[in-house]
Structure 1
Amino acid sequence: MVTIRDVAKAAGVSKSTVSYVLNNDPRITATTEAKVRRAIEELGYSVNHAARSLSSSRTWTIGISVAPDAGGYYSAAAGVHMYALARHASDRGYEALFVDAAGGARSIREAVASKRVDGVVVMDVSDDDPRIDMVLELGVPAVVFGSPDDCLGLDVVDSDYEREAVDAVRYLHELGRHDVVLFSKPEQLVRQRMGYVTRFNDAFVREARRLGMRVHVEAPEQVDSDPLSVVERAMRTYGDVNGVALFNEPVVMAAPRLFSTSGCGMCDERGVIAVAPRWICLSMSLPFATIQTDVDRLSGEVIDTLVSRIEDPGREPVRRLVAFPVIEPR
């Protein structure tokens, strides 16, 4: 079946440009529109007109599409995000419909075609996520809750992970911690092309090297790997390091107990900074510096952005990346 991606490639334009043409967006020039229309005709691309027409009537329901179950902590984290999104949707007069994760793009198509949603929140987005192609093809209002490599003209809301990585490095550098370990997200998420992980890691390493620091990156293999074993391995390998950054929630939760019982240099709590959800930082009273991701605030931004898109489909795309500040330990 010919997809919107095939049309974009044939016309030499982006997928978002194809979507704009399909939606008769006035920002597209006549020359560009002609190229896209010609590619559509040559490839025999067929738009799902039934789904697109059905999406024009209001249902006062927002679809929330999550990625397939990653397992472990990450399933619980998805639940926290979904609860916050549903609460903010209710505050704006909308019901929340959780779109089947296993069905992915197909489930979004079915929700729109059956006239069940006015718009869609696409969570846990990977680079080249087929769900993005689907919402572009359907022309349904959508917000990406995540930071893919290319949002293709869709509205995006997420933490500014690259900015936070830089801030974490500078915090450690100002303390004189010039040999550091970064405990990052599982390699499984990198293989799934969850681009925010790679971008955080790359920004952290790049800034550390710019400042003349040594940095070692450690990550568990799977989302359900034992976090203690990862830290213990690093302690044996890098016993002389004097700074630690934690970008892995299970490691964040395990670190205080492990650090308190060890005498190694990396476990000096004054030289540790964690990037983690605010609810973890507060509930555990973490004894080191933190950058606290406010899931509730981000969820509110996502719903506000989607409602605005539903009410004004033709407005300029919005990209809201929120950098949360470093909070030093008391």
Structure 2
Amino acid sequence: MATMQDVARRAGVSVSTVSYVLTGARPISQATRAKVLSAMAELDYQPNAMARGLASRRSRILGLLMPMDERGLGATETAFVTGAAAAASAAGYHLVLSPIGAGEVDELRRLASQRMLDGALLMEVQLDDPRVDVLRELSVPLVLIGRTADTTGLSYVDIDFDRTVRDAVDHLVRLGHRRIVYVNHSPATIAHGYGPALRTRDAFVAAMSGHGLDPLMIAAEDSAAGGRDALSEAFDRAPDLSAVLAMNESAVFGILGELARRGLAVPGDVSVVSMVTSPQVAELATPALTAMTSPGSALGRIAVETLLRHIDADSGEIYQQLLPCVLEVRGSSGPPGTAGGAAGDGPARPTPGRT
């Protein structure tokens, strides 16, 4: 592989002259520039990304700021990332994942101050997210995959949680369910102002109230054990529940396990619908989960395209879009009281609290 020294020898110039041609740091005569470029072409020399960035004042690197815990990325989160990465690559950019959350503003300030990022995408957005203020202060272009409480002057793409929850509740109500429990994210996640958890909580109340039904939400830790505990609490508070709506992929498998442990059939005794879920996750369950399928890949792509418009045109035009999840009916939802057969034909529904 050719080096900068090889180019300098071929062109008959110093290494520093080759560097000046690449970076534009000093004026170089047209004749000398032509010799250097010709030598680069003959040697098939590929300048590194840093040198190209210095020449264009761009790094061609986009940062995806997404906090992660020990569980890493699930299939649904990965769809957001792959959609964004594909759009960045198609435009000649690299997407770098950085696990910086709302509580790590000092780390973000250090990263952004180095000017290594042409722009930033923010995921796991809180209603009051200090990362937004840091990036604005340092004039780093940004787009949210999610929404703060005040979106004035901010470009974002997000899930339409109002419509998504309404469609999920409507599906269960049409099947005949009247006692529906919503299993949300953890109490800490809600307390910290995580946008999706709060928006779905409010949307669930509105959707259930619109049908004249009492809403019951259970906050669950993001784990299978959290799902089992949430279901136990749900039966304690609503022994007649016939359907569970969940936006917690880690917990939903614990919910299914606890239902099986209690001898309750899905969907014959209790229907389960998972929200903001990828088809890959939905198909892992037995039965396969009826789900509100996440538009993650599309949101990731649109976010990058929006960010690049801000970067390339230095445009102040704000772009805001909501996309709903799409209902995909699989094997985990059906009319209430149908264990062992069609509605009304099966055996009596087991006692919810049975162990």
Q: Above 0.5 in TM-score? A: yes
Which residue number in structure 2 is paired with residue 116 of structure 1? 116
Code of the aligned partner of 2:297: D
Q: 1:72/1:266 Cα in 2 relative to 1: closer, same or farther (>3 Å)?
A: farther
2:208 & 2:322 partners in 1: Cα distance?
A: 22
**Structure-2 residue corresponding to 1:89:** 88
Change (3 A) 1:100 1:226: closer
- Which structure 2 segments of 5+ residues have no match? 1-53, 332-355
Residue number in structure 2 paired with 1:213: 213
Corresponding residue of 1:174: 174
Deviations 1:22-77 (A, max 9, x none): xxxxxxxxxxxxxxxxxxxxxxxxxxxxxxxx9x932111012223x4x354x434
Q: Which amino acid aligns with 2:327?
A: V
CA contact (8 A) 2:181 2:215 kept: yes
Unaligned runs of 5+ in 1: 1-53
Which residue in the other structure is 2:97 paired with?
98
Bigger helix fraction: 1
Structure 2 match to 1:329: 330
Q: Distance in 1 between matches of 2:113 and 2:73?
A: 30
Aligned in 2, Cα 1:253/1:304: closer, same or farther, shift over 3 Å? farther
- What secondary structure does 1:245 align onto? strand
Structure 1 residues 240-287: Cα deviation after superposition (integer angstroms, max 9, x where no partner): 122221111112223334334545588637733210321311344653
Question: Structure 2: how far apart are the matches of 1:255 and 1:223?
Answer: 12
Whether the aligned pair in 2 keeps the contact of 1:72 and 1:223 (CA below 8 Å) is: no
Contact 2:222/2:251, CA 8 A, preserved across alignment = no
Q: Which residue does the alignment assign to 1:76? A: 73
Letter in 1 for 2:120: V
- In 1, the alpha carbon distance for the partners of 2:301 and 2:209 equals 36
More moved, 90-99 vs 210-219:
90-99
Which one-letter code corresponds to 2:92 in the other structure? G
1:153 is aligned to 153
Q: Secondary structure at the match of 2:228?
A: helix
Deviations 1:52-106, CA, capped at 9 Å, x for gaps: xx9x932111012223x4x354x43497244553343223211123345278333
Runs of 4+ aligned residues of structure 1 deviating over 6 Å after TM superposition are none
| 1:99-150 deviation per Cα after TM superposition (whole angstroms, max 9, x unaligned) | 4527833333333332211111112111221111112222221111112212
2:305 corresponds to which letter in structure 1? D
3-state DSSP of counterpart to 1:214:
coil
For residues 57 and 283 of structure 1, do their structure 2 counterparts lie closer, same or farther at Cα, with a shift above 3 Å needed?
A: farther
Contact 2:242 2:269 in 1 (8 A): no
- What does residue 187 of structure 2 align with? 187
Q: Relative to structure 1, is the Cα distance of residues 141 and 295 closer, same or farther in structure 2, using a 3 angstrom cutoff? A: same
Question: In the alignment, what sits opposite 2:23?
Answer: none
Q: SS of the counterpart of 1:86?
A: helix
SS in 1 for 2:64: strand
Relative to structure 1, is the Cα distance of residues 178 and 316 closer, same or farther in structure 2, using a 3 angstrom cutoff? same
Secondary structure at 2:151 match in 1: coil
Instruction: Tell whether 2:310 aligns with 1:309.
Output: yes
Q: Could you tell me whether the CA contact under 8 Å between 2:309 and 2:315 is conserved in 1? A: no
The 1:293/1:286 distance shift into structure 2, 3 A limit, reads farther
SS at match of 1:182: strand
Aligned-residue RMSD, C-alpha: 2.8
Structure 1 270/179 Cα, relative in aligned 2: closer, same or farther at 3 Å? closer
- DSSP-derived class of the 2:110 partner: helix
Greater shift after overlay, 197-206 or 108-117? 108-117
Q: What are the equivalent positions in structure 2 for 1:193-208 lying under 5 Å apart?
A: 193-208=193-208
The alignment of Structure 1 onto Structure 2 pairs a total of residues equal to: 272
Larger radius of gyration: 2
The answer as to whether partners of 1:161 and 1:200 remain within 8 angstroms in 2 is yes
Which residue does 1:231 correspond to in 2?
A: 231
Q: What is the rounded CA distance, in whole Å, between the counterparts of 2:243 and 2:185 in structure 1?
A: 18
Contact map agreement 1:244 1:273 (CA 8 A) in 2: yes
1:239 touches 1:264 (CA, 8 Å); kept in 2? no
Q: Secondary structure at the match of 1:226?
A: helix
**Separation in 1 of the partners of 2:130 and 2:150?**
12
Select between 257-266 and 280-289 the one with higher mean Cα deviation. Answer: 257-266
Which TM-score applies when normalising by structure 2? Answer: 0.68
**What's the offset of the Cα at 1:322?**
0.8
* Residue in structure 2 matched with residue 18 of structure 1 by the alignment: none
Aligned equivalents of 2:147, 2:286: Cα separation in 1: 29
CA distance 1:98–1:244, change in 2 (3 Å): closer
Aligned to 2:292: 291
Q: 1:98 to 1:106 in 2, by over 3 A?
A: farther
Distance 1:272 1:328 in 2: 11
Q: Percent identity?
A: 23
